[in-house]
């Protein structure tokens, strides 16, 4: 009789211990914290059609289930653009080959006057032949900018710059002030995360790895 009560007591203590242990494990398992700036709820973005470096039409919906990393920049940019594109390249290189196939980086030019398809193509090939470059009439690009709460404004060069251009057939020298963020769009065409200029390649890679594991 006493042995039976003792055995039941031991089993009860063991069950309580397992329950507490399980609860403790759940308590210390923290939810993933995104490294980028998260939009909650995500912002639905419109489909768009711009011109690729091969002269073909490209739409966001062409990605067919991939994560899109979108950046607005220009090839004559002296600092923000090349540094950002290089960080994206490093982040993608840290993914597995299968993961890389599910992410697409898209560079949309905010300087279509100088960034012809040929110029933009050469620029991006210097980073990765898998990157997509898009350009078009600025009015069409501006409509896409607005959908991402981004902006771009050309600093008008002096008249002498245009005179020099006419004489030498070189592109006029001027800067374009623009938003320097990377925008992460989900396969459902929702803007989920944005990354500032000082983004870390490791942080971007971490977010991508987590998201890819969820889909």
Mean pLDDT across the chain, nearest whole number? 86
Helix or strand or coil: residue 113?
Answer: coil
Does the pLDDT of residue 138 top 50, yes or no? yes
Q: Are strands 190-195 and 37-44 parallel, antiparallel or unpaired?
A: antiparallel
Q: Give the residue-averaged pLDDT of 70-80.
A: 96
Give me 188's structure tokens.
Answer: 């459902």
Q: Is the previous residue joined to 41 through a cis bond, with omega within 30 degrees of 0?
A: yes
pLDDT at 158: 53
CA-only gyration radius of the chain, Å: 25
pLDDT at 22: 45
pLDDT at 17: 43
The model's pLDDT over 27-55, given as tens digits with 9 standing for 90+, comes to: 456 799 999 999 999 999 999 999 999 99
pLDDT at 215: 82
Domain ranges, ordered by start, for the chain: 35-214
CATH superfamily of this structure's domain 35-214: Glutaredoxin (3.40.30.10)
The model's pLDDT over 153-174, given as tens digits with 9 standing for 90+, comes to: 998 765 544 454 444 455 668 9
The model's pLDDT over 191-202, given as tens digits with 9 standing for 90+, comes to: 999 999 999 999
pLDDT at 165: 45
pLDDT at 61: 95
Give percent above pLDDT 70 in the chain. 79
Q: How many CA atoms lie within 13 A of 201 on its CB side?
A: 13
CA-based nearest residue to 67, from 84, 42, 87, 50:
42
C-alpha span between 156 and 147 (Å, rounded): 25
Question: Is the pLDDT higher at 18 or at 213?
Answer: 213
pLDDT at 30: 79
Q: Give the residue-averaged pLDDT of 128-134.
A: 97
The model's pLDDT over 56-69, given as tens digits with 9 standing for 90+, comes to: 999 999 998 999 99
DSSP string computed for 14-59: HHHHHHHHHHHHHHH-PPP--SSEEEEEEEE----EEEETTS-EEE
C-alpha span between 43 and 147 (Å, rounded): 9
């Amino acid at each position: 009789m006493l042995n039976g009560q003792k055995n039941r007591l031991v089993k009860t203590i063991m069950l309580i211990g397992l329950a507490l242990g399980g609860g403790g494990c759940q308590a210390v398992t923290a939810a993933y914290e995104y490294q980028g700036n998260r939009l909650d709820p995500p912002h639905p973005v419109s489909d768009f059609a711009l011109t690729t470096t091969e002269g073909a039409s490209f739409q966001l919906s062409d990605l067919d289930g991939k994560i899109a990393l979108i950046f607005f920049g220009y090839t004559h940019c002296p600092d923000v653009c090349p540094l950002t594109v290089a960080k994206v390249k490093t982040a993608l290189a840290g993914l597995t080959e299968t993961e890389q196939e599910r992410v697409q980086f898209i560079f949309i030019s905010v300087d279509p006057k100088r960034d012809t398809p040929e110029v933009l193509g050469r620029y991006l090939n210097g980073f990765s032949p898998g990157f997509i470059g898009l350009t078009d009439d600025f009015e069409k690009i501006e409509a896409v900018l607005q959908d991402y709460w981004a902006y771009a404004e050309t600093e008008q060069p002096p008249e002498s710059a245009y005179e020099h251009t006419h004489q030498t057939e070189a592109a006029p020298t001027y800067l374009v002030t623009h938003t320097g963020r990377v925008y992460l769009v989900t396969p459902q065409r929702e803007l989920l995360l944005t990354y500032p200029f000082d983004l870390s390649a490791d942080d971007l890679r971490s977010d991508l790895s987590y998201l890819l594991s969820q889909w």
